[in-house]
Chain A
Amino acid sequence: MTSQCPFLIYRKEHGEQSFDTARAFCTATDSFVQPMRADICNNRYGLTHTTDCEIYDAHQSTLDTDVSGAETE
């Protein structure tokens, strides 16, 4: 299990949105993540992106596992 979802990045800007501090951003949906959902993205509190995120379920087939190996468990 990786320490966070492979779709997760942290960024300060996207489109017209900008923040002082980098925030959780989901590259699967191309949008900033709600703070509560960010705990799933970061695999906190026993949550995991593979079991607890329906967005991950819908987009996992788009991951390039051969290149990144990010989904090796």
Chain B
Amino acid sequence: MTEKPLISIEALARRYPRHGGGETTVFEDVWLPIAKGEFICLIGHSGCGKTTILNVLAGLDQPSAGVVIVDGREIAGPSLDRAVIFQGHSLLPWMSVMGNVAFAVNSRRPDWSKDRVRAHCQKYIDVVHLTGSEHKKPAELSGGMKQRVGIARALAIEPKMLLMDEPFSALDALTRGSLQDEVRRICTETEQTVFMITHDVDEAMLLADKIVLMTNGPHAKIAEIVENTLPKDRSRTNIHKHANYYALRNHLLDFLVTRSKAFTAESGANGYDPKKPPIVRPGARPVAVETGPPEPGHAVSA
């Protein structure tokens, strides 16, 4: 855990001019290191700036202040190293499933032969269980299938990092569940680094290693980083049987329902430092809160 983070968000802020002069600050002083292989979920109320942060990470948007550092350099724009799974699947409707995935792979590997690209795409289409639908157009697919094509397209370029903006929010519960399982399987197998936005506490608990909680906007900040205290081999069917399940879930819900609003008042008393948001490990034992870990992400066990 002492290794340098893969990506480091530093002092990020986003401001918009307000009607009739002045500025509204959506979020400010957002600091977050993301280590290689980590699965991070960002939770916060609507409008606190989650999508904006993800778009800045993707290189599609510029912050008003602050930087995102990758490999020691500030990111300048979009990169094939950071694949995005958009909220509204955003497949190109005139291309087939294979065409959409191949479009991405061709961008990543312009020197590959047609056959090699095809075989590579097929592998990822199989991974998301769309074998047999290669030649269908997006309009001929269900919502869950479209989202899976989006996942296949992102995985097929073998990025260093996956960025997902509420990838499952538009799906029914059954489809969402099976896709969550697939994403979890794929990401643990490949040790993929993931940054995902979600509104769903259960989804975050199943998938994330760390859950980043944002306060309400305006002036939103990272309130705390919750480490997932459930075992690595958790699954949707057994997750609620674990001793830490309710402690973790209650902590997250409590934050969303009450603390996210009142955080500013609460933080003053605790010596809150936006550069090193407290790391929390809710468990069966009393909740442990650290206010100042020596290094971000380097916390002593409670």
- Are both chains from one complex? no
